[in-house]
Structure 1
Amino acid sequence: MNLKKNAILAVAASAMLLASATSGAPDATAAAAKPVSIVLDGYPLPFPAAPYVANGTTMVPFRAIAEALGIQVDWANRTLTATKSQNGAVRKVVLHQNDKKALVNGQAQQLRVAPAAKDGSIFVPLSFFSQQFGATVGWDGPSQTVSITSPVSKLYTEAFYAISSYKEVGFVRKFDSVSFGWTRIDATGKLTLSGQDFFWPKPAGDVTPESIVQDAAVAGGKPMLMAVAMDGSGELTKLLSDKTLQADVIGQLVGLAAQNGFGGITLDFEGLGLSGDLPATRQSFTDFVAALNKSAKASNLTLALALHPLNSSYRGYDYNALAAHADEIIMMAYEYSYEDGPEPLNRIDEAIRLALADVPKSKLVLGISMGSETAATVNGKIGLAKRYGLKGVAFWRLGLMGDQTLAAIQKSVFLR
């Protein structure tokens, strides 16, 4: 794009406006070399039409950002109304096409540039939009990139408590739900409370498994009993091919949950569908989940499923069919990197989009591994859950989180 000198300077001025300041301009050659792009919570935000600069102000398609930030948008009679409810407060912004005057909760405010229609979209000043809805904006001149960080917001949060989580038992009260991995399927396909990793823990002084569960419930959270199984030795295959074993496991699992103060059951059955008869595997697992859900509901227990993502190697999970029998699906969108570093956001984004084709967003929870993420990377994953309006996020696991990462999480979502 060929820009005259004053237009180039306008791009630089818009960058400073985004940070609510006016200072020096970035290099003019760099500004002309690249179009403006926008990154939300560390990941690119697609736009139906490219941002542009008008009178020193960066203009962006309003709906793309608004919907990514969970803002309700209505457009009628050349009037744009944006409404967001957050933490008991409602903020309403009314903008009119080609009019610099805006109404914010009924109070008039002046825009630097009026909203305008272009390329089939309504464009608004980015800085005004961000300031009104609590997002923060940064600018990188060399790459011509606007970075937006979504405001801290209320989102359903879960944590897993398993293996060696006791050192962070104090974090249990902070989450809306905690799944306690204290049962598993053994090599014979039976439910057991003993073993090396997933077992019913012994008391530690006055602290017992039952007291931890009770503490979570008293704090207003929902304790879930989690049953874990891997199919590495064919244990799941044995279970899913034997109706008698299934009935025994379901009866034991529901009884344990109901008798020990749990509010529901989380099923973490991993490793299905790496090979073999995929339709048969999917159907047998779905049938088991349907039977478990029926029994759980009879005891006033909810059911959550922790599943491999649809873009993993494990294809034994029919998300659409399973969603009909579960209150919640936790998509374990990790181990793409095998905990060698932060999980790739593009793979997680792909997994979310695939899952949403089969599961209502009100049932979908994004699983995030603390073995992969750090305080510097975790909020990029949370940002994707917020962008797509998912039910919430679930963290694997307590014992791996740490104070710094917990503090970082609380910059994106409110914990209890």
Structure 2
Amino acid sequence: MRRPALAVLAAAILASGGMQAGTAAAAGSAPSATILLDGYPLAFPAQPIIQNGTTMVPFRAIAEALQIPVEWNAAGKTVTAVKTTDEGQRKVVLRQGSKQATVDGAAAQLGAAPVQKNGTVLVPLSFFSSAFGAQVSWNGATRTVSIVSPPEKLYTKAYYAIKSYSQVKQLGRFDAVAFGWGRIGEDGRLTLKGKDFYWPQADGDVTPESIVAGAGAAGGLTEFMVFSGDAKGELTKMLGNSSLRAETVKGIVDAASQGGFKSIDLDFEGLGMTGDKAAAAQSFNVFVKELRAASKAAGLGLSLSLHPLNGSYKGYDYKTLAQLSDEIAIMAYDYEQGGKPEPLAKVDEAIRLALKETDRSKLLLGINFNSETALSLSGPAGLAKRYGLKGIALWRLGPGLVDADSLTALERTVKLRGPAEG
């Protein structure tokens, strides 16, 4: 008979630590271990220990990282955790010093009784995994415990721009789709023409309007996305000219309304790398405030896709912009060149900085499929889940990028709104 995975894990921790099992168990401690949740380190208030051959880990740290609220009852010495999903609730009650637990009111037996160490309740890792569906593995060479969170429903936006038509059948899988069909031209004016972000031509019965209508009929929010860089000063020119701003605001709202969209997404990049960064941020605030007023009057929402606060561009006032918009997608990518997966430490920092400026319910984590692989997607998606963000934003739909194959990989971590399409 095969030994249970967690029994193997416990034995491996003991064997790899340079200590005899009896000594470790008697001392109630184990060699230092690294705990990874979805591929990224998880901070612990107390190290895992080995107790009579059972791996014990801090319960609250893991539970809260999985967005499971935890309550401690000092009088009864019980810890209660309730996980809410789209399938219902799961309630777990553990008692310090007792191997008897309850899961949804039914009795369950623990491999070891929960203990308290320096004010932290430690529970068997195996029970935690079985109760909440997390997967656990152990690397004896590096003494690393890896926890993979179970797939969960997460609000997901996809960007449709630059040769995305091949993935049109996937649009019903997302909660929102931002169509990148407008940009600010070199003259500082809105244009629906150009090389990349342009209003596409109709192909028989397939028109831009019919694509938008189809995405909306599938239940997703449809957004008219406008892009601008500032390589030739076009964005700075528009923001600094009140007449151009008014013209641009009207043009964006008219295009969104006439195209059948329900919202607007601004992807204005390049502000604040040089020059007066505070002035750049203020000029963008003014424009967004003006656009918000006009879009609201037209019954349209407003979303923003912004450079991260730990990036090179400092012209973005997250606190004010969050108050003026429905949501912000943190473009936490392009930290490195060469199409490698983004460094999760930088992504983590970008999220934490944004959370200092606004509430998590306003934030989406941008994930660039030019950088990530099928194996690396769980990292940034896992961080979005860990921090309880509103959701994720995927750049961009296209073959070899956000397509049926990559979405299959993503669904190991995230449950999408709609079913897979061929």
Q: Is TM-score (shorter-chain normalized) higher than 0.5?
A: yes
Partner of 1:401: 402
User: Is the contact made by 1:41 and 1:148 (CA closer than 8 Å) also made in structure 2?
Assistant: yes
TM-score between the two structures when normalised by the length of structure 1: 0.93
Partner of 2:48: 51
Residue 30 of structure 1 deviates from its aligned partner by 2.9
Matched letter for residue 301 of structure 1: L
Partner of 1:12: none
Change (3 A) 1:258 1:112: same
Partner of 1:70: 67
Matches within 5 A, 1:5-404: 17=4, 19-20=5-6, 22=8, 25-26=11-12, 30-32=16-18, 34-76=31-73, 77=75, 78-399=77-398, 400-404=401-405
User: Is the contact made by 1:37 and 1:51 (CA closer than 8 Å) also made in structure 2?
Assistant: no
Residue 206 of structure 1 deviates from its aligned partner by 2.2
Change (3 A) 1:270 1:27: closer
Paired with 1:99 and 1:50, the residues of 2 have a C-alpha distance of: 21
Cα shift readout 1:363-385 (whole Å, capped 9, x = no counterpart):
00000001001111111110000
Matched-pair identity in %: 53
Cα shift readout 1:321-355 (whole Å, capped 9, x = no counterpart):
11110110000011012342111111101111111
Residue 257 of structure 1 deviates from its aligned partner by 1.0
User: Is the contact made by 2:10 and 2:54 (CA closer than 8 Å) also made in structure 1?
Assistant: no
Q: Which runs of 5+ in 2 are unaligned?
A: 20-30
Cα shift readout 1:29-52 (whole Å, capped 9, x = no counterpart):
632385222110011111111111
Matched letter for residue 175 of structure 2: D
Paired with 2:169 and 2:226, the residues of 1 have a C-alpha distance of: 23
Residue 199 of structure 1 deviates from its aligned partner by 0.2
TM-score between the two structures when normalised by the length of structure 2: 0.92
Residue 205 of structure 1 deviates from its aligned partner by 2.9
SS in 2 for 1:214: helix
SS in 2 for 1:236: helix
SS in 1 for 2:361: coil
Paired with 1:27 and 1:382, the residues of 2 have a C-alpha distance of: 28
User: Is the contact made by 2:33 and 2:143 (CA closer than 8 Å) also made in structure 1?
Assistant: yes
Paired with 1:146 and 1:22, the residues of 2 have a C-alpha distance of: 12
User: Is the contact made by 2:170 and 2:403 (CA closer than 8 Å) also made in structure 1?
Assistant: no
Change (3 A) 1:23 1:145: closer
User: Is the contact made by 2:10 and 2:55 (CA closer than 8 Å) also made in structure 1?
Assistant: no
SS in 1 for 2:388: coil
Paired with 1:359 and 1:23, the residues of 2 have a C-alpha distance of: 40
Cα shift readout 1:80-139 (whole Å, capped 9, x = no counterpart):
110011113100001111111111100011111111110121111111011101111111
User: Is the contact made by 1:36 and 1:52 (CA closer than 8 Å) also made in structure 2?
Assistant: no
Alignment size in residue pairs:
400
Change (3 A) 1:98 1:25: closer
Paired with 1:287 and 1:62, the residues of 2 have a C-alpha distance of: 46
Paired with 2:260 and 2:305, the residues of 1 have a C-alpha distance of: 21
Paired with 1:149 and 1:346, the residues of 2 have a C-alpha distance of: 18
Matched letter for residue 53 of structure 2: G
Paired with 1:104 and 1:328, the residues of 2 have a C-alpha distance of: 36
Paired with 1:36 and 1:73, the residues of 2 have a C-alpha distance of: 24
Residue 222 of structure 1 deviates from its aligned partner by 0.7
User: Is the contact made by 2:7 and 2:54 (CA closer than 8 Å) also made in structure 1?
Assistant: no
User: Is the contact made by 1:116 and 1:124 (CA closer than 8 Å) also made in structure 2?
Assistant: yes
